[in-house]
Structure 1
């Protein structure tokens, strides 16, 4: 199906038809920095503001841009992702780049976008924002 062009996305919870829950909304790309100890809190912060984290991207000096689909829209989704990292002894992509990484966020409206950006900034995770 994927090879035939169907909108199938691989996520930490398996394959999703149609790209998951991302739907319509306001998207933005944010640059963040935190260690492993801030990963779950960052995802919770986004979900608690009513937004979702679609993916994570890092800029590797040899391989170039590396991305992984997250599709985190709730604390439950964040916990599933965290448990998968722990169960597999895997490191997050940001461990390759000194904890610096990008996320594509999707928010239902501008008000929630502003709220999530303020919350990430307050916690010290936010480094920058692409319009």
Structure 2
């Protein structure tokens, strides 16, 4: 922006959206705040408003990303085996989404019912938080609690490298089961 010019309201959000669409890498909230001469909190609110308009923006540890629609044939999928305590669920999901991975589902092998699968579909911390809040507010159990923490996830990403990096992070956290 320069010259301490402050964009206001809808014009600022349109500008932020265009910057995110044009960016080849994540843009931090601080960078957006500096470029628009507003506080970081205003940027957080702007991003929330854009997301409420169904703009596919993802918050990552590196900044905000505009998620471009990728035809399914260009997506890479992987099924992984994990084990952890229920209180590590947030850590597990954050590690995955922070690497640009979508967690499509969770699957367990039940001794009576066989394979049980539930859709998760989270690809950002916000979506993880919503998922965890829903579990908590409904007092639901995690499927993995039926198998002492052992479960599978179907992961999806636009590159194999993102899947590899996510699996490495899970391995370091002692969550990934080696197959």
Structure-2-length-normalised TM-score: 0.59
Unmatched 5+ stretches in structure 2: 1-68
Report the alpha carbon displacement of residue 128 of structure 1 after superposing the two structures with TM: 3.0
1:38 to 2:123 alignment: no
Report the alpha carbon displacement of residue 111 of structure 1 after superposing the two structures with TM: 1.2
Which residue of structure 1 aligns with residue 145 of structure 2?
95
Report the alpha carbon displacement of residue 48 of structure 1 after superposing the two structures with TM: 0.4
Number of positions where the alignment pairs a residue of Structure 1 with one of Structure 2: 109
Report the alpha carbon displacement of residue 32 of structure 1 after superposing the two structures with TM: 0.2
Alignment root-mean-square deviation, CA: 1.4
Q: Secondary structure at the match of 2:167?
A: helix
Decide which moves more: 21-30 or 31-40. 21-30
Q: Which has the larger radius of gyration?
A: 2
1:64 to 2:114 alignment: yes
1:29 to 2:90 alignment: no
Q: Which structure dedicates a bigger proportion of its chain to helix?
A: 2
1:51 to 2:101 alignment: yes
Q: Distance between the aligned counterparts of 2:125 and 2:136, measured in 1?
A: 16
Deviation per CA, 1:7-37, whole angstroms, max 9, x where unpaired?
A: xxxxxxxxxxxxxx88441100000001111
Match of 1:109 among 131, 139, 159: 159
- Structure 1 runs (4+) deviating above 2 angstroms are 21-24
Report the alpha carbon displacement of residue 77 of structure 1 after superposing the two structures with TM: 0.7
Q: Secondary structure at the match of 1:90?
A: coil
Q: Which structure dedicates a bigger proportion of its chain to strand?
A: 1
